[in-house]
């Protein structure tokens, strides 16, 4: 059985079936804390985190099962996107990233080489334990 710390708040999409009182359901785009946002659940399968920095918004994705353009459009409701970090699954619509300054594909991203070739000056190799410093 999963035990949750009662002092920790969890923002989860409605598709997560845990029934605990410290879980807050996020169906639509929402501010979680000042400067931290959720895209809300997309296509009934996942949500993404949006973090405000001094350089713009950084989108943190899980596996990007919904179309990347849809995820990015939802995140852009909170402001101008600066970068993206996370799993990009089978994503290959590379033109989506043309206005980003930081691109860090990780774990399930199938086309890392292509992304790196197209955006070598913006690409950051990611992975467990990787620290990426972005001002404020």
pLDDT in tens, 119-136: 999 999 998 888 998 876
Q: CA-CA distance, 21 to 134, in Å (whole number)?
A: 34
Q: CA-CA distance, 73 to 111, in Å (whole number)?
A: 21
Q: Residue 39: is it exposed, middle or buried by C-beta count within 10 angstroms (0-12/13-18/19+)?
A: buried
Q: CA-CA distance, 100 to 68, in Å (whole number)?
A: 13
pTM score of the predicted model = 0.89
Q: CA-CA distance, 120 to 106, in Å (whole number)?
A: 15
CA of 69: how far to CAs of 26, 34, 73, in Å?
Answer: 20, 25, 6
Which residues face 7 on adjacent strands?
none
pLDDT in tens, 26-49: 899 999 999 999 999 999 999 999
């Amino acid at each position: 059985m999963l035990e949750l710390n009662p002092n920790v708040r969890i923002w989860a999409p409605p598709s997560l079936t845990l029934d605990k009182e410290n879980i807050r359901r996020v169906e639509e785009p929402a501010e979680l804390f000042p400067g931290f946002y959720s895209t809300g659940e997309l296509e009934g399968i996942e949500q993404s985190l949006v973090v405000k920095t001094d350089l713009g918004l950084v989108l943190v994705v899980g596996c990007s099962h919904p179309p990347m353009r849809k995820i990015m459009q939802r995140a852009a409701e909170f402001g101008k996107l600066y970068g993206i970090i996370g799993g990009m699954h089978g994503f290959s619509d590379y033109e989506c990233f043309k206005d980003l300054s930081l691109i860090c594909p990780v774990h399930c991203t199938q086309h890392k080489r292509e992304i790196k070739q197209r955006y070598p000056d913006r690409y950051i190799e990611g992975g467990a334990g990787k620290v990426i410093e972005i001002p404020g």
